[in-house]
Structure 1
Amino acid sequence: MTRILHIFTGLALGLLAAGAAAQDDVGAKAERLETLRERIGELEAAIDQDRQREDSLSAGLAELERRIGEIAGDVRALEREIAARAERVEALESEIATERENVARQRERLAAELRAAYRVGREGVLRLLLNQEDPDRVDRMIAYYGYLGRARGERIEAALDAVETLRRLRERRRSEQEALEQARAERESRLQRLEAGRAEREALLAELRERIERQGGTLADLEQQAEALADLVGRLRDTLADIPETTAEARPFPAHKGDLAWPLEGRVLAGYGSQRSGGVRWTGLLIDGEQGAPVRAVAHGRVVFADWLRGLGLLLIIDHGDGYLTLYGRNQSLYREVGDWVAPGEVIAAVGDSGGRRGSALYFEVRADGDPVDPVAWLRSRS
């Protein structure tokens, strides 16, 4: 009986131990599951933060590239001012040289007259007059010396005027030179800000690219850019539906097909329909150009968009009527605003690399009723 009791007790203890072990295993698995859920939640939160951060980076890039464009535009205006002031300084230098010669001639003439007058002296003139016996001759000599005196006085006045003119010219030159130096200093300051902005942009781009590559989102990013552009064009078409077409003096846009001047003289880096990364195709032309090179309108029209757009940077869109639009993207600066009318060949922007791109180039599109068409069919053939 005692032996059976021992066996039963051992079996019971074994079962209790096995049950406890099973409960421990279930608890451990539940704990691991909870840990896994926490990690998944953290990862999802991190991904969500990455997306928000990417949106923030894109917004930061837009603001930064707008600022760079404004500074570049300021530099361009300062360059024009500097050129104009330098030209005025050069013209003043020429006037000063001419007036300096005039003053020198006046001085030499007066000096010669004064020396002659000194040699004759006042008593000599009186003696010469008293020695004359003919009264008419005396009258003529008095008139002659009076004329000489008045002429000498006029020449003295002219000499003084020349000296004053020279003084005013020198003062104008000094003022113009100071303004020129100030404009040059301002240009240097803006250029430094421009370089700082570009350095900041490069750092921002590096972070953006790292995130895009890490998420493997190149294709998705390109598709989002295409969707954003299509959406913008669609909204513009709706807006423009109630706006009158081009002015009467302008030829209809379709009449220019095959004869439009190129918006930029440069090599075509990517053609319409050519392959992009991720299997996406180009819907326009990518034209090579130096940073700051002038971008020109291909035809008469009105600016309907002039702002930053993801993927295309500083973008300008011109409405040519009859459902036709031309798009000019990746610019460094925009020189026209929404509502401005532009003429063929008018400079509307400067070539750049905005939109987070490497290498300056112009992105150019032609759209008919919202759909992209091959720009080459509209542009003048290059020989």
Structure 2
Amino acid sequence: KLEKVKKRESSILTDLEKTNRQLSRVEFELRKYRKRLIETESNISKVENEISLNKSNIERQREWIKRRLRAMQKYGSTSDTVMLLLSADDISQVMRVGKFLQYITVYEHRMLNAYREDMEDLNEKEKQLVKLKTELMNNRERVEAEEASIAKTKKEKEMLFASVRREESSYKNMLKELKDASKKLLDVIRESEKTDSFSAKGFSKLKGNLPWPVNGKVAIPYGSQKDPQFNTPIFRSGAYIQSNDNSFARAVYNGKVVFAEWFKGYGQLVIVNHGEGYHTLYGSLSEIFAKVGDIIKREQVVGRVGNSGILNVPGLYFELRYKGKPLDPLQWLKKR
């Protein structure tokens, strides 16, 4: 047991990030197969409608062919033509009748060709329908498999958290790692300020008027807290806003993306420079929609909310920093 604890203490955040990366890959695959599933269902519905239309056309054409065959059987295939020509009074009428008969022949040929083409099209559509239904079944199986994989990975994450919570040394080690990660994050921000020429004004006047980066409720607030189990002091540099899995994280103000990738302890993270020394951080994302260098607008989507951070519930980890120092983000957001 001691060896297991020591191994875990080597880097809890590394184990967590490995699990989160695996979870992120599986969730991406799940979204892909769910999209395919919806597209396949839509295609099946479309093809079924086309088949129904084809069958209606074919039925009308069959009725016309039956009537034509009965007429030919009753009067003969050429008798009606001969009678029409003999009933003409002069050559001009004969020519008109002949032209009329020619139109009838062309029409009959078109009807028969249309019948043949519709039958061929129906055959192809029915083959397509069988293929789509097979594809639908395969996609459903893939979705079920990915959902099972996600459930398994989430269970592993829960077990990792449970083991950390049971052992005070592991928990303290994780808090130390998070503190170190926060310092490294400060280095990233300071480095970006040195190398990035982006400048903007106006952010400092928006305290209490910024839009919320995601709809949800604050699960963990900013600031100093004390762990109830181990009585350990904790300082949280940001707020965790719990929300739905498929919610989108939006920039609270215009700015430039200076970081957009995985960061240990923060999951998938986007950092936006708003000028005047202000930065906002959007962590625990399941998917990032921005890249370094992008100029973004207020309320523009920067990512999809997930649980790639240190918590095991969907939500957004949100920080606001001035010259690298964390500020209480809730004091800057609009009151609700």
Which category describes the TM-score, using the shorter chain as reference length?
0.7 to 0.9
Deviates more, 1:337-346 or 1:105-114: 337-346
- Partners of 2:93 and 2:206 in 1: CA distance: 89
Alpha-carbon deviation of 1:157?
1.4
- Partners of 2:83 and 2:15 in 1: CA distance: 97
Counterpart residue number, 1:287: 241
Residue 328, structure 1, aligned to residue 282, structure 2? yes
**AA aligned opposite 1:352:** N
Alpha-carbon deviation of 1:119?
2.7
From the CA coordinates, give the structure whose radius of gyration is larger. Answer: 1
Alpha-carbon deviation of 1:218?
4.5
**Pairs within 5 Å for 1:67-146:** 67-121=22-76, 122-127=78-83, 129-130=85-86, 134-146=90-102
Alpha-carbon deviation of 1:63?
0.8
Q: Deviations over 1:300-351 (max 9, x none)?
A: 43150421423x44433333344322222334x1334652635533150223
- Partners of 2:37 and 2:302 in 1: CA distance: 20
- Partners of 2:80 and 2:24 in 1: CA distance: 81
**AA aligned opposite 1:192:** A
**AA aligned opposite 1:320:** H
Contact 2:27–2:150 (CA<8 Å) still a contact in 1?
A: yes
> Residue 280 of structure 1 aligns to a residue in which SS?
strand
- Tell me: CA distance 1:347–1:236, structure 2 relative to 1, closer, same or farther (3 Å): closer
- CA root-mean-square deviation: 3.0
Structure with the higher fraction of residues in helix conformation: 1
> Residue 98 of structure 1 aligns to a residue in which SS?
helix
Structure 1: tracts of 5 or more residues without a match: 1-45
> Residue 198 of structure 2 aligns to a residue in which SS?
coil
Alpha-carbon deviation of 1:132?
5.1
> Residue 122 of structure 2 aligns to a residue in which SS?
helix
Contact 1:306–1:334 (CA<8 Å) still a contact in 2?
A: no
**Pairs within 5 Å for 1:206-225:** 206-211=162-167, 213=168, 215=169, 218=171, 221-225=174-178
Counterpart residue number, 1:17: none
Structure with the higher fraction of residues in strand conformation: 2
| Aligned residue-pair number | 327
Residue from 252, 269, 273 that aligns with 2:223: 273
Q: Deviations over 1:59-104 (max 9, x none)?
A: 2222111111121122122222222222222222222222322222
> Residue 260 of structure 1 aligns to a residue in which SS?
coil
Normalising by the residue count of structure 2, what TM-score does the alignment of the two structures yield?
0.83
Contact 1:306–1:317 (CA<8 Å) still a contact in 2?
A: no
Residue 316, structure 1, aligned to residue 266, structure 2? no
**AA aligned opposite 2:17:** A
Residue from 103, 120, 134 that aligns with 1:164: 120
- Partners of 2:293 and 2:132 in 1: CA distance: 34
Q: Deviations over 1:198-230 (max 9, x none)?
A: 22223333333333x2x3x65564354234213
Counterpart residue number, 1:237: 190
Normalising by the residue count of structure 1, what TM-score does the alignment of the two structures yield?
0.73
- Tell me: CA distance 1:218–1:192, structure 2 relative to 1, closer, same or farther (3 Å): closer
Contact 2:260–2:288 (CA<8 Å) still a contact in 1?
A: no
Counterpart residue number, 2:326: 372
Counterpart residue number, 1:193: 149
- Tell me: CA distance 1:347–1:99, structure 2 relative to 1, closer, same or farther (3 Å): farther
